[in-house]
Structures are given as structure tokens and as C-alpha cells.
């Protein structure tokens, strides 16, 4: 496959996967928003149900008190009212009022009870006839005139105690209602059964506090009871459900104070939602406040997003690995193709020279002796060149298969260097390169063939690529336990960006077939592999003066 097409297909795949991942994450977030909205609606429904339930409890409780008042015997009204006040915890005060006579109970001269005096003063405007008695369908909130708002605060714990005492003293149920219905005819005297009966309740604010008055009219007489507000509210609180951990419900009075709270307060917590419902007209200016924290789906979204992102990373990583491997295989195939071409060219050039000069010598023409020597030297030089090429190819093959064998022995490094230079003297002379060797008498344990192969390759490279410098220096020194062999030339050097690649197999700093010096890109790679396998190393750098190249070989063999 064309490498460019592979890049295009991979890019399109990455774009498609990225778009799919983004769409999936957005879909998950939309689902989270939908679930959050549904949960808000559920909480709002819960508050609505609770509000209606509290209102129903309030109406039922008032109707129960009203039913008891309607069943009062007209002839024994005062005694029955006093008796009911003493027995019913929901009744705080009772009264009897007449259109002509005014208030007959409690009497204003009754000064033995502060509570009764406060009752008379509280409803003075009503009892003096300044405000009419309202029926159920005419109910409006009435504030007592000229009263200063009283500041008060009720503690929930005390309220719970009151609620408990009420449950012990007074229980409203259907049986009680039935019993009161059965005795209704008993309380109504024959003289009053045909009298028209009206009734109602009045929400009354005095001192910024809510009071409730329930009344019954029989003819010109109005009687009734004032609700014991604390006990009345306590009966309503029993309808509050048990709150979950992230939900709280508050009963707020007319002074915007928390009268009762179910569940822990969430006001100071983050992401707290609040719904408020009014309890009017059952409890004017009172409200229920619902606080809740919606369960977070961020962890689920984050987990899903993380999984999608990791999946995207794995897929993209796999695609890049595929591209890398494909590109590497493509480059290897291209390099091997170039290698075959270069080897063919390298073999063809010396073979052509050998054949040409051999044919000249075989022509049996009179050839001057100096030319004969030159022809023979060319044939020998080209034969050595062929030998080096074949050895490089064979060594490369053995190294690639891991079958190269080493033979370590103690040898004089200075004498080995002299022998190698002597064997390459002809090629050095043809390139007009002057050789300088500086090596102390060092005996080292190493592989002779490896050292010879490496140095011949480096000398051959100098003749090919740095002949214009006309110089080759071989310097040997010992540093600690290492023996350093440095080969220096005065050629053009190697570009810095290509220095790190010169030991890569098949790599050539300049692979143009039109160059005067052609190679196959194996020599330096073989040098590095041969030395690395015997715990030695080779590195290359341009000389500090800017002219030429330096190859340093580090040997770790035992020395004497």
C-alpha cells in the first residue's frame, strides 16, 4: 500500500473515531441532564403532595373541632364549652357572644386568668362588633389593630415533645367522628333543632403571630373556640415523612423562622436546590421549604468519558503503531532494494576494472613494465575491494542471524595496526593519503578479525569520502581500564543531523548513484554490531576545528 494512502486512511479513521467519541460523550451528558430534570420534577411532586397533605390535615383537624362545637347542647352551652376546653388539647380558649349582649363568656370582669384577659384583648375588634364573623367561603386573614409584632422562636425539640404528649392525650380517627355524630342529636335540644346554624373559622394575626378562631352561630348567639396553635401544628408535623440523607423539609412560620425541620439542613452545601410551597389558606403566611441535593452523575459521566478517551487513545495509538510499522517496513524494503542496487553496482565496478586490465595483460602486446605493474596493482586493489564487500555482506548476514563467532587472544595492538596499514597501503597510495600511527606497545585481549574488519572499513571510508584531506591519523591511548583507538581524517565531515544515523544499517549520508564514491550502507553498521557484541563501542563526531571526522573505538579487553 502507498504510504501516503495509509496516512490518509489513518487520518480519516482517527477523525471518525474522535467524532464518534465526542458524540457519545455529549449523548451521555444529555442523558445526565434529562435524569437531573426528571429528579427535580419528582422532588417538586413530592413537595406538592406533602403540601396538600399538610393542608388536608389542617382542614381535617379544624373540621373535627368544629364538629364538636356544633354538637354542643345549646341549653348547657357554657358548661359544655368549658368541659370541652379542659378535655381537648386542641382548644386554648372558648367564648360565647351575643349580637345584643356582646361577650358573655369569658366575662371581662373575670380577672383571675391572664390568659382570658389576653384572649379578650386579642379579639377585641371582633368581640366589639367592629369586624363581622366570616363564614368559611368568606375567609380572609385578619390582623389585630395596634399590636406590636412579637418576636418569638420555637424549638423543634420542644415541639416534638408536645407532639408526643398530644398523641398520648388526643387521637383523631373515624371512630371518634362516628361517636360524635351519634351523640349530636342528644346535644341538640328540641327548642333549638330548627334554629339555622352557621359556622366558620378566622385566621387572626396578633403580634406577628397566627391564631385561629372557630365559631358557630345559632340565632343571635355566636360561640366557639380558639385553637391551641402549638398543639395544632404538632398534629400537622406528624404528616411529615422521614427525609433521606440529601433531602430536608422545613416548616416556615409567618416570621420566616424555621418552626420545624425534618432532615439535616442543606442550606450551606453546594448544589442545593430549593422549592417553596405556600400553606395558604390552611395556614396563611406559612410555607414548606424543600431542600435537596440531586445525586451526582458526574462520576458516571467521567467514567464513561474516560473509557471513551482511553479507547480513542488505544485506537489512535494502534493506528500510529501500524503506520510506524508500515513505514518502517516500507523504508526497510526501500533500503534493501537500494542495497541490492548498490551491491550490484559495487560488484560491477571492480569486476569491470579487473576484466579490463586482465584483458590488456592477456593481449600479449608489448606493454611497458611500469604499466604492467600498474595494471596488476589495480587488479589486486579491486580484488581486495571485492573481498571487503563480500566479507561485509557475509558478516551482515551472520550478525543478522546471531551466528557470528568470536575468537579472543592476546595480541600486540601496535603491530596489528602496522599490518593493517601495510595491507591497505596500495589503496592509500592511490588516494594519496598520508598515514600517521601513534600507538604505544600495548598487548590486549581481543578478537583480531573484528579489529581488522572495523579498521579496514574505516580506512576504506576515509579513502572514499575524505580523500581530499590527504590525511589519516590513528591514535591509541589508555584511559583507566579502556583502550581508545581514534581514527581522524581531514575530510568535509558529516552533517550534524546525519551523525546519529550513520550506524543504521542501509543508511547512507549521500546515496546518489552519481557520486564518485558509492557505498552499500553496511560498513559502519557492521562495525558497531561487531564491537557491541564483544563489549566494545564506537562513536563518531566532527573534529573541533571544523575539518574532518573522528571515530573513537573503546575496547574493554584485558591489557598488559
| Residue-wise DSSP of 285-321 | T-EEEEEEEPPP-HHHHHHHHHHHHHHHHHHHHHHHH
Measured in Å, how far apart are the chain's first and last C-alpha atoms? 58
Supply the mean pLDDT for the chain: 78
Give the list of residues 6+ apart from residue 340 with CB closer than 8 angstroms, or none: none
- Of 86-90, 397-401, 506-510, minimum mean pLDDT range: 506-510
- Residue 339, pLDDT score: 65
How does pLDDT run across 491-514, given as a tens digit for each residue? 988 888 888 888 887 676 654 433
> How do the domains of the chain map onto residue ranges?
1-296, 335-555
Q: Is 88 left (phi over 0), alpha (psi -120 to 50) or beta?
A: beta
The burial class, CB within 10 Å (0-12 / 13-18 / 19+), for 111 is: exposed
pLDDT for residue 232 is more than 60: yes
Q: How far apart are CA 176 and CA 64, in angstroms?
A: 9
Cross-strand bridge partners of residue 479? 482
Q: How far is CA 76 from the centre of its chain?
A: 78
Cross-strand bridge partners of residue 214? 201, 225
Q: How far apart are CA 509 and CA 464, in angstroms?
A: 13
pLDDT for residue 163 is more than 50: no
Give the list of residues 6+ apart from residue 405 with CB closer than 8 angstroms, or none: none
Q: Which of 72, 60, 58 is nearest to 222 (CA)?
A: 72
- Of 201-205, 317-321, 540-544, minimum mean pLDDT range: 317-321
Residue 397 or residue 449, greater confidence: 449
pLDDT for residue 39 is more than 80: yes
| H/E stretch holding 93 | strand 91-98
Which pLDDT band holds residue 152 (cuts at 50, 70, 90)? very low
pTM metric for this prediction? 0.47
- Residue 338, pLDDT score: 67
Which pLDDT band holds residue 322 (cuts at 50, 70, 90)? confident
| Residues 407-419, mean pLDDT to the nearest whole number | 91
pLDDT for residue 438 is more than 90: yes
Q: Are 122 and 206 in contact (CB under 8 A)?
A: yes
| Residues 129-142, mean pLDDT to the nearest whole number | 66
Q: How far apart are CA 97 and CA 94, in angstroms?
A: 10
The domain 335-555 is placed in CATH, from the list 3.30.465.10, 3.30.565.10, 3.40.630.30, 3.40.50.1980, at 3.30.565.10
- Residue 545, pLDDT score: 76
Which pLDDT band holds residue 228 (cuts at 50, 70, 90)? very high
pLDDT for residue 558 is more than 60: yes
Which pLDDT band holds residue 154 (cuts at 50, 70, 90)? very low
- Residue 186, pLDDT score: 32
- Of 143-157, 272-286, 316-330, 511-525, minimum mean pLDDT range: 143-157
Q: How far apart are CA 157 and CA 445, in angstroms?
A: 97
281 cis-preceded (ω within 30 degrees of 0): yes
Amino acid at each position: 500500500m502507498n504510504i501516503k494512502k495509509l496516512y490518509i486512511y489513518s487520518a480519516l479513521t482517527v477523525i471518525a473515531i474522535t467524532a464518534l467519541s465526542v458524540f457519545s460523550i455529549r449523548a451521555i451528558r444529555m442523558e445526565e441532564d434529562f435524569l437531573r430534570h426528571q429528579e427535580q420534577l419528582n422532588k417538586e411532586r413530592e413537595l406538592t403532595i406533602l403540601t396538600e397533605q399538610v393542608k388536608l390535615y389542617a382542614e381535617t383537624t379544624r373540621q373535627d373541632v368544629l364538629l364538636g362545637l356544633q354538637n354542643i347542647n345549646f341549653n348547657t352551652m357554657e358548661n359544655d364549652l368549658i368541659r370541652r376546653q379542659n378535655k381537648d388539647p386542641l382548644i386554648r380558649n372558648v367564648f360565647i357572644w351575643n349580637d345584643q349582649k356582646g361577650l358573655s363568656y369569658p366575662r371581662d370582669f373575670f380577672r383571675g386568668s391572664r390568659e382570658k384577659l389576653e384572649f379578650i384583648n386579642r379579639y377585641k375588634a371582633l368581640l366589639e362588633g367592629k369586624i363581622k364573623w366570616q363564614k368559611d367561603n368568606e375567609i380572609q386573614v385578619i390582623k389585630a389593630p395596634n399590636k406590636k409584632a412579637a418576636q418569638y422562636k420555637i424549638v423543634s425539640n420542644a415541639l416534638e415533645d408536645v407532639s408526643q404528649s398530644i398523641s398520648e392525650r388526643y387521637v383523631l380517627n373515624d371512630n371518634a367522628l362516628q361517636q360524635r355524630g351519634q351523640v349530636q342529636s342528644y346535644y341538640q335540644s328540641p327548642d333549638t333543632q330548627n334554629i339555622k346554624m352557621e359556622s366558620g373559622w378566622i385566621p387572626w394575626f396578633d403580634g406577628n403571630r397566627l391564631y385561629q378562631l372557630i365559631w358557630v352561630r345559632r340565632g343571635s348567639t355566636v360561640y366557639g373556640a380558639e385553637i391551641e396553635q402549638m398543639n395544632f401544628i404538632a398534629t400537622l408535623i406528624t404528616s411529615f415523612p422521614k427525609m433521606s440523607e440529601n433531602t430536608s423539609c422545613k416548616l416556615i412560620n409567618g416570621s420566616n423562622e424555621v418552626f420545624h425541620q425534618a432532615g439535616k439542613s442543606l442550606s450551606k452545601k453546594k448544589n442545593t436546590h430549593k422549592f417553596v410551597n405556600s400553606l395558604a389558606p390552611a395556614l396563611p403566611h406559612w410555607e414548606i421549604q424543600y431542600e435537596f441535593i440531586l445525586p451526582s452523575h458526574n462520576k458516571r459521566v467521567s467514567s464513561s468519558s474516560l473509557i471513551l478517551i482511553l479507547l480513542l487513545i488505544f485506537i489512535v495509538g494502534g493506528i500510529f503503531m501500524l503506520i510506524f510499522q508500515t513505514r518502517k517496513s516500507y523504508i526497510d524494503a526501500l533500503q534493501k532494494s537500494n542495497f541490492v542496487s548498490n551491491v550490484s553496482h559495487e560488484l560491477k565496478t571492480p569486476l569491470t576494472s579487473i576484466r579490463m586490465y586482465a584483458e590488456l595483460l592477456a593481449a600479449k602486446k608489448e606493454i611497458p613494465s611500469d604499466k604492467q605493474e600498474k595494471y596488476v596493482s589495480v587488479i589486486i586493489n579491486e580484488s581486495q575491494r571485492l573481498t571487503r564487500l563480500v566479507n561485509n555482506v557475509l558478516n551482515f548476514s551472520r550478525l543478522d542471524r546471531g551466528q557470528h563467532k568470536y575468537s579472543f587472544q592476546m595480541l600486540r595492538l601496535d603491530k596489528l595496526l602496522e599490518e593493517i596499514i601495510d595491507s591497505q597501503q596500495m589503496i592509500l597510495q592511490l588516494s594519496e593519503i598520508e598515514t600517521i600511527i601513534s600507538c604505544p606497545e600495548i598487548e590486549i585481549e581481543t578478537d583480531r578479525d573484528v579489529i581488522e574488519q572495523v579498521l579496514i572499513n574505516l580506512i576504506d571510508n576515509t579513502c572514499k569520502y575524505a580523500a581530499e584531506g590527504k590525511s589519516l591519523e590513528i591514535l591509541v591511548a589508555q584511559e583507566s581500564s579502556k583502550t581508545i583507538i581514534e581514527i581522524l581524517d581531514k575530510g568535509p565531515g558529516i552533517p550534524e543531523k546525519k551523525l546519529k544515523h550513520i550506524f543504521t544499517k542501509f543508511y547512507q549520508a549521500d546515496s546518489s548513484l552519481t557520486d564518485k564514491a558509492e557505498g552499500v550502507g553496511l560498513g559502519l553498521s557492521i562495525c558497531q554490531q561487531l564491537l557491541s557484541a564483544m563489549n566494545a563501542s564506537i562513536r563518531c563526531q566532527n573534529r573541533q576545528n571544523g575539518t574532518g571526522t573522528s571515530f573513537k573505538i573503546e575496547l574493554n579487553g584485558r591489557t598488559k
